[in-house]
Amino acid sequence: MASTSEQTKPGHNLEPIGIKVRNRRRELGLTLQELADATNLSVGFISQLERDLTSPSLSSLATIVRTLKAEIADFLVVPGGESSLTRSDKREPYTINEGSLIYERLTSRFPGHKLSGVIMKEEPGHRSPPMRHEGEEFFYVLEGSITCEVGGKRTILKEGDSIHFNSSELHSTWNHTLQTASILVICTMEIFGDTIRGNSEPEKGSRDKSGRNDN
């Protein structure tokens, strides 16, 4: 996998993330269905990701990377984290595969830290894939409006609104407006690759119902 020195700028790689995900999945002998089952993401989303037809969010990428027993740094450069203080004019925004989500890291790294925080800018029309994972999340809308769905319940969040939920419930967001939305996101999931909190261990090399391995 590409080293940091091979990467052009934060959030970008010379080799697309989708190719890296596909190559690593094949190295482990996993089918698309097995990876989807282990990450609680859809086969369609992972297939599109591997073909670079869609871009993952930080949380979905972190879930995939952990399941593939790899490190986020192998896939993505995440700037910041060295200092407990961030200045609004010094934070470096970045995207994943030039996607429609733009991030600014807010939280730092130190032994035992439990919170990950970003300002996330979600472009009009963007929909995140439904997913679930460990921990909890907190959204606070700084600007604009988004639709947030948690456990099958849809809520429209406007500027100044917030929502706090258990991340084990299926959740997703959608910018239903024509304006870019800016959201403060705080979660307990490790999304920056600062620490490794265990790996999912799906079975290797199983076949789908048709008897074919989709490698």
In the chain, domain spans: 4-74, 101-187
What is the number of residues in the chain? 215
CATH 2.60.120.10 fits 101-187, yes or no: yes
Please identify which residue in the block is written with the tokens 């989303």.
45
Strands, sheet with 136-143, edge to edge from the N-terminal-most edge strand: 101-105, 116-122, 181-187, 136-143, 162-166
- Read off the pLDDT of each residue in 70-76 and give the average, rounded to a whole number: 87
Residue 195 has a pLDDT of 58
Percent of the chain with pLDDT over 70: 84
pLDDT tens digits along 119-158: 999 999 999 989 999 899 999 999 999 999 999 999 999 9
Q: Is the pLDDT of residue 42 over 70?
A: yes
> Which token pair is 61?
């990428």
CATH 3.40.50.1820 fits 4-74, yes or no: no
Q: Is the pLDDT of residue 208 over 70?
A: no
pLDDT tens digits along 85-120: 999 998 999 888 777 899 999 999 888 889 999 999
Identify residue 64 by its one-letter amino acid code. Answer: I
Contact 208, 214 (CB under 8 A): yes
Contact 11, 96 (CB under 8 A): yes
Q: Is the pLDDT of residue 66 over 70?
A: yes
Q: Which residue has the higher pLDDT, 36 or 15?
A: 36
What pTM was computed for the model?
A: 0.78
- The pLDDT confidence band at residue 12, using thresholds 50, 70 and 90, is very low
What are 144's strand-pairing partners? none
